[in-house]
Amino acid sequence: MKRKKSKCVSYAKWGYIFLIPFFLVYIIFQLIPLLSTFYNSFFENYRVGLMQVGPTFVGFKNYKEILFNSELPMYLKNTFIIWMMGFIPQMFFSLLLASWFTDLRLRLKCSGFFKTVIYMPNLIMASAFSMLFYTIFSDVGPINNLLNSMGLPTYRFLAEVAGARGLIALMNFLMWFGNTTIVLMAGIMGIDTGIMEAARIDGASSFQIFRKITLPIIKPIMAYTLVTSLIGGIQMFDVPQILTNGNGNPDRTSMTAIMYLNKHLYSKNYGMAGALSVILFIITAVLSIFVFKYVTKDMVDTGAKTSKKAKK
């Protein structure tokens, strides 16, 4: 009996061994920082000049301060508005481009070239991109010169609510629509062309095919884009931070939740920053679960499987 067992080689352990590097990196760089964030959020711990205050255990005081005494809801609202302003056109153009690129009847020439071009903005660093926009849309920048030469008055983009939010949304849109297009294209190309052909033979128009066949099948992929974009949206930071010089001008209407978090960096306020991070963590988790459940609730089994893969 014993001999027989030793003959049977177990390969399962190799699976675990090969997974060790991932778990090590995950624990050191993700799990421990995550747990220490939770831990730190219960302490009063900051520095004023060279004077260290705390750490003193204060229970949920930091949470109370943020939830009832700060303007976090306003910053979350700003984040959400700016995210939506960028996400809706992003989804629209990505779907349009993805369906064009994959349409067999259109036979677009140099689609590889266009795919590269629309992906380009994503390759530029967000900070460089923001600096560029800051210069282009400054009060004496090229855009205002153009407006003036057409006889229009100077529009102070960064001093107006719509201007500042609009610019941030525009940049997010430009940076991410290429990426979304590629992801959606992958989804559309996974559809069996036979279904499309059959529909076409039955007399369906391109729009009908798109609405009745393509859209329902790529729903899991869309859910994936929505969830990743939502998480990315909640973490929106670099673009508005640099464009508004960290102030969220005007009147803090373009200050996002993470910019608010960053404000606590100056005083090395680990307690408040920790509490804020935990709150954002919970919000992100709840939103993701909710969106994902909602979008995939009437999905057929195969779809659900695809979505699991996609999620990874």
Partner 1 sequence: MKRKLTSLFLATAMVMTTLAGCGNSGGKPAAKVDTSEAAQGKVLNIYCWNQEFQERFEYFKKSGKLPSDVKVNFVVTPNENNAYQNALDAALLKQKDAPADEKVDIFLVEADYALKYVDSDYTLDVVNDIGLTKDDLADQYQYTKDIVTDSKGVQKGTTWQATPGLFAYRRSIAKDVLGTDNPDKVQEALSSWDKFNSVAEKAAAKGYKMLSGYDDAYRVFSNNVSAPWVDSNNKIVIDDNIMKWVDQTKLFTEKGYNNKSSLWDNVWAADQGPKGKVFGFFYSTWGINFTLLGNSLATPVKEGGKEEVGNGIYGDYAVCQGPQSYYWGGTWICAAAGTDNPNLIKEIMKTLTCDKSTEVQITKDTQDYTNTISGMNELASSDFKSAFLGGQNHIKLFAQAAPKINMKNISAYDQGLNEEFQKAMKDYFDGNVTKDKALDNFYKAAIEKYPNLSH
Interface pattern 154-173 for partner 1 (x via CB under 8 A): --x--xxx------------
Residue 274 CB coordination number (10 Å): 23
Establish if 41 lies at the interface with partner 1 (CB under 8 A): no
Interface pattern 177-216 for partner 1 (x via CB under 8 A): ----------------------------------------
Which residue of 61, 93, 100, 138 would you call a contact of partner 1, by CB under 8 A? 138
Strand partners, 56: 44
Establish if 61 lies at the interface with partner 1 (CB under 8 A): no
How far apart are alpha carbons 180 and 182 in whole angstroms? 5
3-class secondary structure, 229: helix
> Can you read off the two tokens belonging to residue 77?
């609202």
How far apart are alpha carbons 220 and 232 in whole angstroms? 18
As measured in angstroms, the least distance from the Cβ of 207 to partner 1 is 44
Interface pattern 218-257 for partner 1 (x via CB under 8 A): -----------------------------x-xxxx-----
Strand partners, 43: 57
> Can you read off the two tokens belonging to residue 218?
């790529």
As measured in angstroms, the least distance from the Cβ of 250 to partner 1 is 4
Establish if 272 lies at the interface with partner 1 (CB under 8 A): yes
How far apart are alpha carbons 241 and 300 in whole angstroms? 42
How far apart are alpha carbons 274 and 269 in whole angstroms? 8
Which residue of 29, 92, 266, 294 would you call a contact of partner 1, by CB under 8 A? 266
As measured in angstroms, the least distance from the Cβ of 126 to partner 1 is 17
Q: How far apart are the first and last CA of the chain?
A: 42
Of 40 and 179, which CB lies nearer to partner 1 in the complex structure? Answer: 40
Establish if 20 lies at the interface with partner 1 (CB under 8 A): no
Residues written for the chain: 312
Distances (CA, A) of 174 to 87, 186, 234, 244: 10, 20, 18, 18
Residues that bind partner 1 (CB under 8 A): 27, 31-32, 35-36, 39-40, 43, 45-53, 55, 71, 135, 138-140, 156, 159-161, 247, 249-252, 263-264, 266-267, 269, 272
